[in-house]
Amino acid sequence: EREQARRLRILSPYQLNHRLLQRAKPDAIVMHCLPAHRGEEISADVLDGSQSVVIDQAENRLHMQKAILTQLLSLKKGAR
């Protein structure tokens, strides 16, 4: 618990939050590979905000992972 508090204190300046996002271009988008540690690495308002494409990114990753598995399984069948 003490170690976690220390890490949060050290890493808090690097959190993606509203203040940091205000310094980005107005059309900047927020991406995260999930799972996200809300309030630690990224603030909830940014994660759920209008510039966030986190859910779309996670969905696209799921489809990519399925495609990779399909390809790998078809290669394995061909090796028999």
**Domain residue limits, the chain:** 2-78
80 residues of the chain, pLDDT tens digit each: 999 999 999 999 999 999 999 999 999 999 998 999 999 999 999 999 999 999 999 999 999 999 999 999 998 776 65
CATH 3.40.50.1370 describes domain 2-78: yes
C-alpha–C-alpha distance, residues 35 and 57, integer Å: 12
pTM of this prediction? 0.74
Cis before 35 (ω within 30)? yes
Q: Which residues contact 55 (CB under 8 A, 6 or more apart)?
A: none
